[in-house]
Structure 1
Amino acid sequence: MQLVEAFGRVVRAARERQKLTQSQLAELAGLHWTAVSHIERGTRPAHLVTLESISTGLGVSLSKLIQRAEALQASENSNTD
């Protein structure tokens, strides 16, 4: 699993825990909902400023989201070895 995909899964999980729609998160982050969709699906790399906006919208530090994504990536990759 690529880090960008793992990051998207982490963002989706955090958004769903907070019972937010993609549109609601996008509004909180000052983004278009399609940007949130692309990030969650890992289909388009995002700029650091966009990732920071997502983390602000979620109320979770960017470093925490990245740590979670790295842990997920490591876990998924070790299961496929």
Structure 2
Amino acid sequence: MPDDRSKPPLNETTRVFGERVRDRRQALGLSQEAAAIRCGIHWTQLGKVERGQRSLRLETIVKIAGGLDIDAGKLVSKLPVPPTGSG
């Protein structure tokens, strides 16, 4: 089974969203584990989000935004539109 860190992002939308989440977490000086606790999700899930390997439900986006003390709109505003037929 390949290491998740070597898997590519699902698409450009999830890649850019993940970058935004990672940038915010790092700006707060949080480890993935500490951020995941604040967000109420597992740290492995947060890692997949940051690598763009996970497409999220709206509720999870809101949980992540709340845990990172940022408006969810800032995380999703002007994201690239996913290709037809994905997520």
TM-score by length of 2: 0.74
Matches within 5 A, 1:15-54: 15-54=25-64
> Percent identity at matched positions?
33
In the alignment of these two chains, the number of paired residues is 71
SS at match of 1:20: coil
Q: Distance in 2 between matches of 1:11 and 1:34?
A: 14
RMSD, aligned α-carbons: 1.7
**Of 42-51 and 6-15, the range deviating more from structure 2:** 42-51
Q: Any stretches of 5+ residues in structure 2 without a counterpart?
A: 1-10, 81-87
Q: Aligned match of 1:5 in 3, 15, 27? A: 15
TM-score by length of 1: 0.80
Q: Any stretches of 5+ residues in structure 1 without a counterpart?
A: 74-81
Moved over 3 A (4+): none
